[in-house]
Structure formats: structure tokens, C-alpha cells
Structure 1
Amino acid sequence: MLILLPPSESKTAPDAGSPADLLDLSFPQLTEAREAMLGHLADVSAADDALERLKVGASLKGEVERNTRLAAEPAGPAIGVYTGVLYDALGYATLSEDARERAARSVVIVSALWGAVRPADRIPAYRLSMGAKVARKGTLASWWKGELAPVLEDYGRGQLIVDCRSSGYAAAWKPEPASTAAIRVERVRGGRRQVVSHMAKHYRGEVARYLLEADVDPATPAELAEVLRERWEVELTPAGRGPAELILVVREG
């Protein structure tokens, strides 16, 4: 089982430590692409219109300036640098030792800057989302698609892929639909059903934690649905042109 996570917009910068070594990151096939993206990001972050192109407000000016010196910034494990709703729900620090070992094998974080990293990969805090205007041509998702496809297809071959990414990051690599289950969340309130986004991050983090602690290895979306039904109300939409969707139905009121 391969669990795909998005990064987080908010990040915790390591207080100290050596800078990231690109040659030490997982998926070394992406080294040249990472070097190129680091260069693009540094150039854009130093430009007069940096905030506009990175789609951030003036309060994040300091983080944008940090993008110009990432090669010298302290680095730490990606699972500690990425923070926010999904990662709070995942609660990596409180996982059992066995669950952490499973996370090391099973969790891949798809990133606008690094392409893909695993939890222990050392990275600095940075500011770049998949919607930023940094790539020389096209979107960042389309820029990464050609780089990620051969690498992640090989890494995920023969495994069920549990896709907890948001749509922007999901566009950077689309696994084979037959071997993929995308996690969605819908809320039912007052008899009306709504697709949710912010709350979905929390539940996707909970799903990742549950699977890591449960020590399960479902082979199909249907088997995954049965595992998750032990805790949530789950609906399964079979794969078509896109992946199967596992919808967590959250009822309120």
C-alpha cells in the first residue's frame, strides 16, 4: 500500500541543522528537476512581483525571502517540517514505532518544490504551492507530471495507492485508476450533502494514521473500503476514467 499525501502550506522551519543535500533525498532520479525548480523559485522570489506570482500576501514576505537562500537554510525531516490540519490529524510524533516504520515505507509526500519526498527526507521550510506561477511554461503540476510519472509508477507498482492529495497535487501524477483509491469527504447537515475541503484535510490525515496503525495491506479499493468501514461510514464509487473514490460521509446534526 502506498499512501500519497499533499504537503502543507504552513511549515515549521528547523531551528538548526545542516542544509538539505539533494543527493540524500529519496527518488534521486528527480535530482536535476529539483535543482531546476530550486533555481526557478529563487529567481521568482527575488523578483519585484514575487508575492503575486507565488500567490501569497504581504505577511509572508519573510518566507518568500527565505526561498532565495534555501541551499543554506537548516533542514529537518519532511514529516516535521510539514504542519497544518492534515499533519496534525496524522500525529506522526504519537504513532507507534511499528506505524512509523510502515510510514517510512508507505508514505510519499508530493511537493511543488521537491517533486516527491518520504517522511525522513531532510528539507528546509519553503513557500511554494502547486498553484504558483513559477514554471517557465505551463503549470507546476504539468511541469512535474513528466518527471514524477516514471519514478512513482515504478515505486508504486503492484500496490494499492491511497490518494489523500488535494486536486492541485493530484494533477502532478495520476496513477492507474484500477489500482488507486482517492479519499473524499462529504458532510451531511440538515439532510443536505456537501463536499468539504478544509475538513477533508483533517479526515485524510486520520485515514492515513488509521491505516498505518492498523497494519493492514488492502489490495483493492473494495478491501480498503471494508477496512475503513470499521471506523467511518464509507461509500465506494468504482473506478472509471478516474480512480475509485472512497467517500467518508460525516453526518452532523
Structure 2
Amino acid sequence: MLLIISPSKKMDFVPEDIKFHATECKYKSEVSSLAEIMKGKSIDDLIQMMSLSKSLATLNFQRYQSFDSGPTKQALFAFKGDVYSKISVSKYTSEDIEFAQKHLRILSGLYGLLRPLDLIHAYRLEMGVKLNIDHSNDLYEFWHDKLTQEIRNLMKKDDDILVNLASTEYSSAINIQNLSGTIVNVVFKNLNKGSYKVIGLLAKRARGMMVDFVIRNKISSLQDLKDFSEGGYKFVSSESSDKEFCFFAQ
């Protein structure tokens, strides 16, 4: 089983004593090309491209100006958003990390597809940003074929099961229709004013909880995935299908 998740805007590059050996991103050439383009953008460009405040645009302008010499950190330790707040990576054993390195991938506008231990620099580049590169009109077009082929190859090694825990913005970078095997989207809903609804913040945290559940328990089958019960969530068969698993919480 292969899991995909989105990156987060919030990052932490405070040095840590991480005992796990770092790996390198598969798409080093593409990353260099994208970073070089972003290095040429002004602060005002970044404000317009990504709807950033002046302070955030300035921070990311500085990040790209010193991109090659900036600090690096393993991806799963660097991302600190809502999804990642529920992934207890600081408590992972070597066996947990080995499992995650094989079964978890992080989609990224800059890095394409990351393994948990791949080194990354601090950056901001959402997949939905309009950016012309190599005859592509945007990052979806730039990454589409590369990521689809890579996911296809990984699924062949992983029982042909893909569990999509990424946002639509990021999962749209993959041509799901061109993948063989079983693809399952996971939906988390919470009780709100008498009915069950997707609540953004809670759904993000639930995605992280499911990633953590899969890694800690070495889940490899969809049947076992249905046993997920962290945060009070329960699998609801009447609302689910072969292509979409629904989990509800009070």
C-alpha cells in the first residue's frame, strides 16, 4: 500500500539530532530549474503569485536567493502543518521510518515527490501556482507525466494499492485515470449542527492521524485500514465504496 499526502506551508528548520540517514530527492535537476526561476522573482512577484503578505513574500524571496546554501532537513521532520502535527515522527523507531520511507510519499510543487527522509530546503511553492517552465504553462503540466509514471512504478512494487490522503490541489498533479490497481480516496467527516460534514482543519489532522496509524501498525491492506479509529473516527460502510472510504467522528 502506498500513501500520498500534501506538503505544508509551515516548516521548521531548527537543527535537530535526527538519527536517520538522509536521502536525496529523485528530481534534483527539476528542483534546480524551478529554484532558479523562483530566484528571479521579485518580492512583488511572489506577493501576486501566491497571495502572500509582504513579510512572507520577503521571507521566501530571501529563501530562494540563498537556496543552494540554505539549511536542509529531512522532509517528514521539516513540514509542521496540521497534517504533520498528528504524525508522531519524533517517536518513530528505525522500523517505523523504514516502513514510511517505502510506503509514504509527499507531493510538492518544488520537489515533485518526496520520501520522508529526502532532504529539502525551506521553500514556498504551491502546486497551483502559475509558472512557465520547459514549455509547461503551470506546475501541474510540468509534473503531471513525471509523477504519474513514478506513482505507477511504485504501485507495482506495493500491491497496486494507492491511498490518497492529499488535497485536491496536490493529487490533481497525478493522472489518476492512468494508474492501474486500486485507488482509494479517504474522506473524514465530523458531526456539525446535526449532520456530518468535512471540516477542513479536522480533516487535515485526521489525514495525519491515519498516516501515523498506518506507519506505527505497518498496515498493508485496505481491510486493516478500515480499523482506523484514532480521534474517534469510525469507518462507515454505508457511505463508502471501493473507491472512497468514509470515516465519521462525533
Q: Which TM-score band (shorter chain)?
A: 0.7 to 0.9
User: What's the counterpart of residue 52 of structure 2?
Assistant: 56
Alpha-carbon deviations, 1:154-197, whole Å to 9, x = none? 12223321211011000011443751111211122232222222
Letter aligned with residue 79 of structure 1: L
CA deviation after TM superposition for structure 1 residue 133, in Å: 2.6
Alpha-carbon deviations, 1:30-79, whole Å to 9, x = none? 333222222222223x3642211122111212133212221111111111
CA deviation after TM superposition for structure 1 residue 132, in Å: 2.1
Letter aligned with residue 153 of structure 1: R
CA distance in 2, matches of 1:14, 1:121: 17
Figure out how many residues of one structure are paired with residues of the other and give that number. Answer: 235
CA distance in 2, matches of 1:172, 1:122: 21
User: What's the counterpart of residue 228 of structure 1?
Assistant: 228
Paired residue for 2:89, among 71, 88, 92? 92
Q: Which runs of 5+ in 2 are unaligned?
A: 17-22
> What TM-score do you get using the length of structure 1 for normalisation?
0.83
User: What's the counterpart of residue 122 of structure 2?
Assistant: 125
Identity %: 19
> What TM-score do you get using the length of structure 2 for normalisation?
0.84
User: What's the counterpart of residue 149 of structure 1?
Assistant: 148
CA distance in 1, matches of 2:225, 2:190: 18
User: What's the counterpart of residue 171 of structure 1?
Assistant: 172
SS of the equivalent of 1:247 reads: strand
CA contact (8 A) 2:43 2:61 kept: no
What RMSD in Å do the two structures reach over aligned CA positions?
Answer: 2.4
Change in 2 beyond 3 A, CA 1:147/1:47: farther
CA contact (8 A) 2:131 2:137 kept: no
- Counterpart mapping for 1:62-77 below 5 A: 62-77=59-74
Alpha-carbon deviations, 1:89-131, whole Å to 9, x = none? 0111122332222112111111000001111111111111122
Paired residue for 2:105, among 100, 104, 108? 108
Letter aligned with residue 247 of structure 1: C
Q: Which runs of 5+ in 1 are unaligned?
A: 17-23
CA distance in 1, matches of 2:15, 2:218: 33
Letter aligned with residue 236 of structure 2: E
Letter aligned with residue 147 of structure 2: L
CA contact (8 A) 2:227 2:235 kept: no
